Structure 1
């Protein structure tokens, strides 16, 4: 079979090509073009596909051969971080500072070469999805109410697809992830998609799944009942001291 890069139809509701047709080099590149409308975005994520491109590039859509997946009972924080968090005074909540978390994730990182993939257009797309109740942020605040880190991503069915995380204070993004996993586990959601493994997520317990295994799990979870909307009340507000070890083991 000869594989090639697909160009998307102008209709945002047009289906994506099957992920199995993604290129091996670069790994997972499947299609280009289209737009960043909520309809297109949700169609992509429901198909196991995500956008990833830099400023000045066309919109590129990916489904890599290996997928980074967290089990919601499998996020692990180090003993050292757990000890420090017990006296941090930090609080975790959801959907109270979405735009700020996205902007924090888009900010240049120390030692990062080049620009961010979370371009102005991507940020606008995520804000539109958040307004529709499909995109959510998990935020960590210090004892003075300052936002010190968090993560954001999309949800549908019983699936959460994490897009990015950041920390102003060391450990904040890890705590956001661990608390998200704990809350999702309580809701009966088994997995968090983390897209591509990296050294940081490996330390937190991410698993590398073959694309076919992830797509099978996705198909079983994406249509389970879950109404879009803000998670602020449903998620709750959790001082680290009130979490015990449930969100930190």
Structure 2
């Protein structure tokens, strides 16, 4: 572990007592943490972390830091968001350096904005430390470029469920289907057949490529491929956490699939 006093951290922002850092842990591999995230982890008095944050990432934390699990997983007993925010507020008000560690990026389907708004309402200073979003970094580990000038000049990011866990009915599916050639779906496994049906009804082609990346950036990463029309046949092979990408982005995977057995042997990614 790099010492907090290492010259690499000279000039980094102070992590003051009574403040909260909302930090993105990246898509999974510990080597994808940012330097600022590492600096915060090594200074924190308490780390409030999501379910998908690995032990390897938590291993970078200050050895004396308290760890509080605040994960939310679909279909499993989960922390209530309001309780998580109250915990952050109470810890900061007690004078702790509080690091809220969230998978991916805090502001990309991570509810980081809700937590930041709660802190602001209580006049608690906070810092946002962005992370590599799984919808970009995770796909890169699968050899899937989220953009390529020959295929798409835009991309849509979609969450597969709303606040209640149901399919987001507020989405304009007809507009979404036409908005971008590539659609990247987070947390969409549960409702994937319904999402596919709505996109097909809105005009997307049944032979469009679909790739599903499970446990992205980890040695256990798996990728399965199919088409939008055969999503139902893919479902028995899919398990969360998974990213789903629709469109031509995955067509380059046979050439760009660099994350081979040798690469997976490096524990940092």
The interval holding the TM-score normalised by the smaller chain is under 0.3
Q: 1 or 2, which has the higher strand percentage?
A: 1
Pick the structure with greater CA Rg: 2
Task: Choose between structure 1 and 2 for higher RCO, CA contacts under 8 A separated by at least 6 residues.
Answer: 1
What TM-score results when the alignment is normalised by the length of structure 2? Answer: 0.25
